[in-house]
């Protein structure tokens, strides 16, 4: 942007910052003993994995989310259930495990 007399740098458009990488761990388990654990650097990747396993509208507990049929569960560390499943409710904000799936 060319300099205009009387214009200070604070009025120049800011370059949007990239979100910082995160360490998100998502654990998927089923009642028949299947268990998968994946690590993600972005919330979008963690959401895609979780939604592919139990859908975008699970029943949520205080530290886990259960699929519609009750046969699969998602636990998460490094993010919240509200972030993974923003359209599901209600949420219990108390997490007794403090991010340790």
Q: For 7-42, how does the pLDDT look when each residue is reduced to its tens digit (9 = 90+)?
A: 555 655 666 677 788 999 999 999 999 999 999 999
Distance CA(29)–CA(4), nearest Å, equals 60
Predicted pLDDT of residue 15: 67
Name the nearest CA neighbour of 50 among 19, 18, 87: 87
Q: Say yes or no to pLDDT of 84 above 60.
A: yes
Q: Per mean pLDDT, which range of 10-14, 22-26, 78-82, 86-90 is the poorest?
A: 10-14
Q: Tell me the pLDDT band of 6, cut-offs 50, 70 and 90.
A: low
Greatest C-alpha distance within the chain = 71
Mean pLDDT of the chain: 82
């Amino acid at each position: 942007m060319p300099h205009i007399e009387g214009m200070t740098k604070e009025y120049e458009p800011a370059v949007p910052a990239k979100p910082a990488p995160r360490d998100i761990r998502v654990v998927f388990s089923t009642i028949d003993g299947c268990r998968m654990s994946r690590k993600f650097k972005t919330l979008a990747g963690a959401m895609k994995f979780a939604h592919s396993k139990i859908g975008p509208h699970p029943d949520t507990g205080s530290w886990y989310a259960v699929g519609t049929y009750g046969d699969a569960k998602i636990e998460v560390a490094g993010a919240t259930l509200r972030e993974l499943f923003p359209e599901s409710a209600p949420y219990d904000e108390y997490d007794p495990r403090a991010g340790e799936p």
